[in-house]
Amino acid sequence: MNSVCVFTGSSNGSKVIYREAAQSLGREAAQRNMTLVYGGATVGLMGAVADAALDAGGSVIGILPEALAELEIAHTRLSELRIVDSMHTRKMAMAEASDAFIALPGGLGTLEEIFEVWTWTQLGVHAKPLGFLNVGGYYDSLFTFLDQAVQSGFIRPAHRELAQSHTDPSALLDLLKAADVSYKPKLAVSPGY
């Protein structure tokens, strides 16, 4: 695992612990000589995770749609900044540049991004681990919902188990490194899955 993609908010959120967790994850990735891949902006937790990795001597690749770069939120200190034509291109480029994925606290964009790569794993598009850095219980309610979806027959247990979770960045990276993502989708898919 040489690179990790981080999905997170363009704001800092309401608690200091979210920013602290982003900084801790950035430093941890740099200490492990892992390239950090993220959305390319200077704002919010996105900027915090990138700055922490850079300040710790790490390599950071930012991938930013042209429309957002024009709003002057592009990070100027990155190891590499790729400007792409759309959000769809951005997500594909981030996935291609990464060996694993982590969702820090964030909003709709963060959820959409982590669920998309999770779906790609479920469908066998890639075999890359993913996880949630569950800072201060931020994702607890989401996990309760996902477990309910399993109990209700809408998510298979094997698909639910593809996502790792931890409160500590170092422990989460260890889980991702050890994760078994050899799941192969069945050719015949039952209704509801």
pLDDT tens, 13-43?
999 999 999 999 999 999 999 999 999 999 9
**Which pLDDT belongs to residue 189?**
43
User: What distance in Å separates the CA atoms of residue 13 and residue 2, rounded to the nearest whole number?
Assistant: 29
Unique residue bearing structure tokens 């994760």: 179
Domain span at 32: 3-177
Domain with residue 24: its CATH number is: 3.40.50.450
Residue 59: inside a domain: yes
- The answer to whether residues 103 and 132 touch, using CB atoms and an 8 Å cutoff, is yes
**Which pLDDT belongs to residue 78?**
96
**Which pLDDT belongs to residue 192?**
42
The residues of the chain scoring below 70 in pLDDT are 183-193
Residue 182: inside a domain: no
131-146: pLDDT as tens digits: 999 999 999 999 999 9
Residue 186: inside a domain: no
User: What distance in Å separates the CA atoms of residue 20 and residue 139, rounded to the nearest whole number?
Assistant: 17
Record the pTM.
0.92
The number of domains in the chain is 1
